[in-house]
Amino acid sequence: MFAKRTQWDLTPNAFSQALERLRTSGRKVLDLTASNPTVVGLDYEREKIVRALHHPEALHYQPEAKGLRVAREAVARYYAELPQPVTVDPERIILTASTSEAYTYCFRLLCDPGDEVLVPRPSYPLFELLAGIQDVKLAPYPLFYDHGWHMDVSALGEAVTSRTRAVIVVHPNNPTGSYVQVSERGALNETCKEHDLTLVADEVFMDFPHGQPQASFAGDQDVLTFTLSGLSKIAGLPQMKVAWMAVSGPAGLRNESMSRLDVIADTYLSPNAPLQWATPELLQTRHAFQHSLLARLRHNLAELDRRLSQQSLCSRLHVEAGWYATLRTPAIRSDEELAVRLMEKEGVVVHPGHFFDFTQEGHLVLSLLTPPEDFTEGLRRILSAVGDSS
Ligand SMILES: Cc1ncc(COP(=O)(O)O)c(C=O)c1O
């Protein structure tokens, strides 16, 4: 009765079973996988956010495929206000309900069933589902670690087949926190040009650098480029469901894709009026949110370094930006076994590396969003448990 693409194996794995047991045990849970910014004690301009939702114009229905101009202009201002400003024409911005939906538009525009899209490995686990639901196949290209993460540009070229339609870059990547380096961007563009590929740049974590901010892909004109982002991460408002894609690249391809995307967006008209009218104010609230979150991220990262300096078994990988840090642990058991053991013995939840498709054992991913007291105590228990069992 059902389509093959929905034949998922929904049997809970050892990690989710242990998590369920921990959650129902009544024990205090130290959750170092926190990803919901609205529940971890960060500062928001609450009144401003609530006021933004009361726009009287929202009483009128004005269907507009790309989204209301007022919201698209606010997104264009966001790019103009980046540390390395980019001019983006509001006519080349399409609003969506989420970055995930923007991916769907990209896949529908670019891929026939069975076509392939290249994705970094390790990276964001939801790609598998986002692509699978659209009958698109993912082909990984490796990132490798050598005093920092790097794109294996020659492996990227080798991963291209006659079915490849696009390359996804996550800038900065989740969970490695690595930007696409300036030196890698040229090679990336060359690969796209040589094989007629579109570049899809996911920049949802762009505004959370731990050091030097990097340039957005939204200004790239070399190849057809779709730059994706949204309020979910940059303003810490995943519940508002406002995201977008900005289209750049050679004029012919840009215009052709805008006409086609217009039809796709017009078919759904998914962004709602109250949120589109609220977008200019909601985007303004990002400054206070980012200030609060960056302080949290840096505090937890410093705590991580302080604790790591007191022992020698674990270390952390270099991270340039984003909400996560990767802990290197001795690979004496699988990451999943270690994560399950940490839940059962210590009441601490962390993501095993394989969740993000790390190819080697010995990686745990910690969320720097975690409230500081939980982060410190969770980390203490992780390091002591790893120490005891090594
Ligand atoms: C790299 C990356 N892209 C996209 C998303 C999804 O964003 P949205 O909430 O706008 O769908 C996430 C969410 O965690 C993410 O980590």
CATH number of the domain bearing residue 126: 3.40.640.10
- Is the shortest distance between the CB of 99 and ligand 1 below 6 Å? yes
Q: Please tell me if the CB atom of residue 230 comes closer than 6 angstroms to any atom of ligand 1.
A: yes
| CA separation for the pair 104, 91 (Å, rounded) | 20
Alpha carbon of 99 to ligand 1 centroid (Å): 6
Instruction: Give the sign of the dihedral formed by CA 312, CA 317, CA 319, CA 324.
Output: negative
Same-domain check for residues 214 and 293: no
Looking at every residue in the chain, the average pLDDT score rounds to 97
Q: Is residue 48 part of a domain?
A: no
d(CA 98, CA 104): 10
> pLDDT exceeding 90 applies to what percent of the chain?
98
Element (H, E) at 232: helix 231-234
Q: How many structural domains are present in the chain?
A: 2
Instruction: Write the residue with the smallest CA distance to atom 9 of ligand 1.
Output: 232
DSSP string, 263-279: HHHHHH--S-HHHHHHH
The reported pLDDT for the residue numbered 264 is 98
* Mutation pick for ligand 1 pocket among 117, 228, 233 (CB with most ligand atoms within 8 Å): 233
Distance 12 CA to ligand 1 centre (A): 23
Residue 264 and residue 132 in one domain: yes
204 CB less than 6 Å from ligand 1? yes
Same domain, 222 and 301: no
Is there a domain that residue 18 lies in?
yes
Model pLDDT, residue 389: 74
Q: Model confidence at 332, in pLDDT bands (50, 70, 90)?
A: confident
What are 91-128's pLDDT values in tens digits?
999 999 999 999 999 999 999 999 999 999 999 999 99
Q: Which of 33, 94, 99, 170 to mutate to test the pocket of ligand 1 (most atoms within 8 A of CB)?
A: 99
Same domain, 319 and 372: yes
Which among 284, 303, 336 is the end of a domain? 284
pLDDT at 44 > cutoff 80: yes
pLDDT, residue 150, reads 97
* 103 Cα distance to chain centroid: 12
What's the CA-to-centroid distance between 204 and ligand 1, angstroms?
A: 6
Same domain, yes or no, for 199 and 187? yes
Q: At 302, which CATH number? A: 3.90.1150.10
pLDDT at 8: 95
- Does 32 reside within a domain? yes
Is residue 83 pLDDT above 80, yes or no?
A: yes
Q: What is the pLDDT of residue 387?
A: 84
Question: Which of 129, 171, 204 best tests ligand 1's pocket when mutated (most atoms within 8 Å of CB)?
Answer: 204
Determine, yes or no, domain membership for 368.
Answer: yes
- Residue 104, Cβ density class (10 Å: 0-12 exposed, 13-18 middle, ≥19 buried): buried
Give pLDDT tens digits for 225-259: 999 999 999 999 999 999 999 999 999 999 999 99
Are 270 and 293 in the same domain?
A: no
> Measured in angstroms, how far is the CA atom of residue 82 from the centroid of ligand 1?
20
Average pLDDT over residues 261-290: 98
- Specify the ligand 1 atom closest to the Cα of 231: 10
Q: Tell whether 115 and 189 lie within a shared domain.
A: yes
Q: Is the CB of 238 under 6 A from ligand 1?
A: yes
Q: What is the pTM of this model?
A: 0.97
Most ligand 1 atoms within 8 A of CB, residue of 124, 171, 368 to mutate = 124
Atom nearest to 101 CA in ligand 1: 11
Do 82 and 205 share a domain, yes or no?
yes
Mean pLDDT, residues 358-386 taken together: 97
Please state, as a whole number, how many other Cβ atoms lie within 10 Å of the Cβ of residue 225. 25
pLDDT-derived band of residue 184, with 50, 70 and 90 as boundaries? very high
DSSP readout, 93-132? EEEES-HHHHHHHHHHHH--TT-EEEEEES--TTHHHHHH
- Are 384 and 348 in contact, with CB atoms under 8 Å apart? no
C-alpha distances in Å from residue 215, one per residue of 184, 185, 212, 243, 346: 13, 11, 10, 19, 41
Residue 390 has pLDDT above 80, yes or no: no
What b/e readout covers 266-289, taking b as 16+ CB neighbours within 10 angstroms?
Answer: eeeeebebbbbbbbbbbbbbbebb
Determine, yes or no, domain membership for 49: no
Q: What is the pLDDT of residue 370?
A: 98
